[in-house]
Amino acid sequence: MASRTTAPSTTDARARAARRLLAGPVAAALALGLGACSVTNPISTAAEYDGSDGVRAAFDGLRATNLIVLTEAEGAPGTLIGALSNPGSEAHSVTVNVGGAAEESFDLAAGQTVLIGPNREDTLDVTQMPVAPGTNIEIRFTTGSAGSTTVLVPVLDGTFPEYTALVPDADVPEAETPGGEDADGGEDPEPAVGTPGDTDGDDRGVDVEDGDTPATDD
């Protein structure tokens, strides 16, 4: 028996055509919406950011990254932590000034990165910090061709465990012992007053002037 092929109905054909017409605008709307999201919310992997508590700066083709200053207190020693990078094809020299309290020059070869901080290849230490932890300090970068660039860098102490061993020790002067006090804070005992030879501690004695003989009982 021969099979018969049923031709698609007019209703089905119209439904498929309608779906095809709707698919184009919907896809365009989705693409537009996703594009708008990228504009209002930039993709995080495409943006530069500092992975630590530090800040960054760019000047004369050079980059400074993850910059922080560590100290125990205002007036105590401090140290700069960060990195200087030269991604270019020519060597550069840059001078770094920390709040007017310390300054150091660094030579960067083409493609070189210099790490600054305790236990690193270079250091920039401050004898006395002009500001306290929890504030910011101005760091100025100066190159021969581009002049100076200044950024505000956070000043931290050893509260965070990752910085505890890096904070310079404060030079604490030894406490002076006031006169008249012993090491444990008490006053020195006064010497006993008495007559030589008086073993019972009685302070009764005889004043004898030169040439006089003390009277004795018969």
Model confidence pLDDT, tens digit, residues 28-44: 554 555 444 444 444 43
**Averaged pLDDT, 42-65:** 71
Model confidence pLDDT, tens digit, residues 115-149: 999 999 899 999 999 999 999 999 999 998 778 99
CA angle 76, 79, 83 (to 5 degrees): 165
Residue 51 burial (CB count, 10 A): 7
Which single residue is written with the structure tokens 């040439």?
A: 211
Q: Does domain 55-164 have CATH number 2.60.40.1890?
A: yes
Model confidence pLDDT, tens digit, residues 61-73: 999 999 999 999 9
Q: Give me the residue spans of the domains in the chain.
A: 55-164
- H-run or E-run covering 164: helix 161-164
pLDDT classification of 188: cutoffs 50, 70, 90: low
Give residue 120's pLDDT.
92
Residue 52 burial (CB count, 10 A): 13
Give residue 20's pLDDT.
61
